[in-house]
Amino acid sequence: VGPDVIDIRKLYGQTGMFTYDPGFLSTASCQSAITYIDGDKGELLYRGYPIEQLATNCDFMETCHLLLYGNLPDAAGKEVFTKRVTNHTMVSEQMQFFLRGFRRDAHPMAIMTGLVGALSAFYHDSTDINNPEHREISAIRLIAKMPTLVAMAYKYSVGQPYMYPQNDLSYAGNFMRMMFATPCEEYKVNPIIERAMDRIFILHADHEQNASTSTVRLCGSSGTNPFAAIAAGVACLWGPAHGGANEACLNMLGEIQQMGGIAKVGHFMEQVKDKNSGVKLMGFGHRVYKNYDPRAKLMQETCKEVLGALGLENDPLFKLAMALEKIALEDEYFVSRKLYPNVDFYSGIVQRAIGIPVNMFTGVFALARTVGWIAQLNEMISDPEYKIGRPRQLFSGSVKRDVLPISKR
């Protein structure tokens, strides 16, 4: 019993303990067997497998299978699973009319929240979250359709025709083609970039009870349909303290570059350390990692590979990011608070080099995280003891009082 633990009997005359823990700093919201993080060691495991091994030896389809079903598929199992996904990559033609209702300059995450939620309007045959078959087909549909929806949102924003999925391509290759090809010219996917894209998906696939995953669980716990629950996750991911950090990080690097680049890094860091400035080093810090985020290391490697493959080794923003990291890792402010680069620090630079526009970064993150959201939702609903999520509160408002007639207030 610490200062944050209040005896509920004193508050409400009930038995049991009442824990007050804003931000869930030390309260587990569920039990899970999917993803393990050791924040002090900087270790991340999906179903027991280290993220480094998955990112090196597996592709995203294998990772999806692992997260959803708990095991890595053999070659035949992978083929069956991949075929199931590719069978569902198309979205209803009606979806483009829905999309047309948005302003072209709307933020793609605003559009994505709408599009994913709208899927519930198209798949009435699979909206019972308590039915395992409905959850299974919804999972496959969501994983299959997310790349199509993200690419449609992008094509709409630039006024280009939508590209239909091409199912003989890999998951990442198909996404890149839908993003970057046009009907009037031949498009060939660069295999190095395709592999990098796939790796970005693997690194973002799950991360236990982060804000968006907890949102999906809470939303799904009411018994709503799977598409609505995932749409809630998309909305939560958008925020700059979560998935929106990669966009915010690249914008920050761009601003420092405009101010004078590496020469101005010292000045920028002084602002970050000044608590009154409201400036944060975006892409740094994490609620769980108190060591280097292992995904950031892999992302930094991927960044080097992609920039090398595209002849952009001297990319000024990459150099700037490396300089910021070096200063931060030696600075007392960051060292004492155990602030290290997180996955978002380098992911924006890789995505920009691949050609993904900055405001689409979080959409790519949502695409990749969809499998994690679904796996977590399935895990929760499959537990016979699951209950609707209903956090308690520590009431701090007025005592009971009477309403006065309006003339006397």
Joined together, the tokens standing for residue 291 give 């060591």
What is the distance between the alpha carbons of residues 216 and 230, in angstroms, rounded to a whole number?
Answer: 6
Q: Is 225 in the site for ligand ACO (CB under 6 A)?
A: no
Give the one residue of 5, 17, 241, 335 binding ligand ACO; rule: CB under 6 A.
241
From candidates 280, 290, 297, 319, binder to ligand ACO by CB under 6 A? 280
**Residue 344 interacting with ligand ACO (CB under 6 A):** yes
- Whether 38 is a known active-site residue: answer no
Q: Using the rule CB under 6 A, is 46 a contact of ligand ACO?
A: no
Of the listed pieces 75-83, 92-100, 222-230, 240-248, which binds ligand ACO according to CB under 6 A?
240-248
Residue 81 contacts residue 61 (beta carbons within 8 Å): yes
Beta bridge pairs of residue 17 = 7
| CB-CB contact of 215 with 232 (8 Å) | yes
Give me the count of residues in the chain.
409
C-alpha 50/C-alpha 35 separation (Å) is 10
**What is the nearest approach in angstroms of ligand ACO to the Cβ of residue 285?**
2
Q: What is the DSSP letter of 47?
A: T
What does R_g of the chain's alpha carbons equal in angstroms?
Answer: 23
d(CA 173, CA 194): 6
Q: State the residue number with the nearest CB to ligand ACO.
A: 285
The yes or no reply on residue 284 touching ligand ACO (CB under 6 A) is yes
Residue closer to ligand ACO (CB basis): 117 or 283: 283
In the residue annotation, 286 being an active-site residue is answered as yes
Q: Which of 290, 293, 273, 289 is nearest to 281 (CA)?
A: 273
**Is position 294 an interface residue for ligand ACO (rule: CB under 6 A)?**
no
Task: Give the x-and-dash track for 354-383 against ligand ACO (CB under 6 A).
Answer: ------------------------------
Q: Which of 343, 350, 366, 368 binds ligand ACO (CB under 6 A)?
A: 343
CB of 282 to ligand ACO, least distance (A): 5
How far apart, in whole angstroms, are the C-alpha atoms of residue 376 and residue 366?
Answer: 15
Distance of CA 253 to the CA centre of its chain: 21
Residues 302-341 that bind ligand ACO (CB under 6 A): 337, 339
134 vs 264, beta carbon nearer ligand ACO: 264
Q: Which of 65, 135, 177, 286 binds ligand ACO (CB under 6 A)?
A: 286
SS3 letters across 119-176: HHHCCHHHCCCCCHHHHHHHHHHHHHHHHHHHHHHHHHHHCCCCCCCCCCCCHHHHHH
Q: Which of 284, 206, 194, 165 is nearest to 48 (CA)?
A: 206
365: left (phi over 0), alpha (psi -120 to 50) or beta: alpha
CB of 347 to ligand ACO, least distance (A): 9
In 191-244, which residue ranges form alpha helices assigned H by DSSP? 191-204, 211-220, 226-237
| Smallest separation (angstroms) from ligand ACO to the CB of 249 | 7
**Comparison of 305 and 331: residue with beta carbon closer to ligand ACO:** 331
Closer CB to ligand ACO, residue 264 or residue 287? 287
Q: 167 near 174, Cβ under 8 Å?
A: yes
Q: Does 285 bind ligand ACO (CB under 6 A)?
A: yes
- The yes or no reply on residue 342 touching ligand ACO (CB under 6 A) is yes
Stretch that binds ligand ACO, among 153-161, 169-177, 278-286, 384-392 (CB under 6 A): 278-286
Part in contact with ligand ACO (CB under 6 A); list of ranges 160-168, 191-199, 279-287, 395-403: 279-287
Site string for ligand ACO, 256-275 (x = CB under 6 A): ----------------x---
Q: How far is the CB of 150 from ligand ACO (least distance, A)?
A: 17
User: CA-to-CA distance for 268 and 368, rounded, in angstroms?
Assistant: 32
- Number of residues in contact with ligand ACO, rule: CB under 6 A? 18
Q: Which lies closer to ligand ACO via its Cβ, residue 173 or residue 294?
A: 294
Q: Which residue in the list 65, 107, 286, 293 is annotated as catalytic? A: 286
Distance CA 220, CA 229 (A): 5
Q: Three-state SS for 391? A: coil
Catalytic residue of the set 65, 344, 383, 402: 344
Burial of 407 (0-12, 13-18, 19+ CB in 10 A): exposed
Which residues of this chain interact with ligand ACO, rule CB under 6 A? 241-243, 245, 272, 280-287, 337, 339, 342-344
Q: Which residues are catalytic?
A: 286, 344
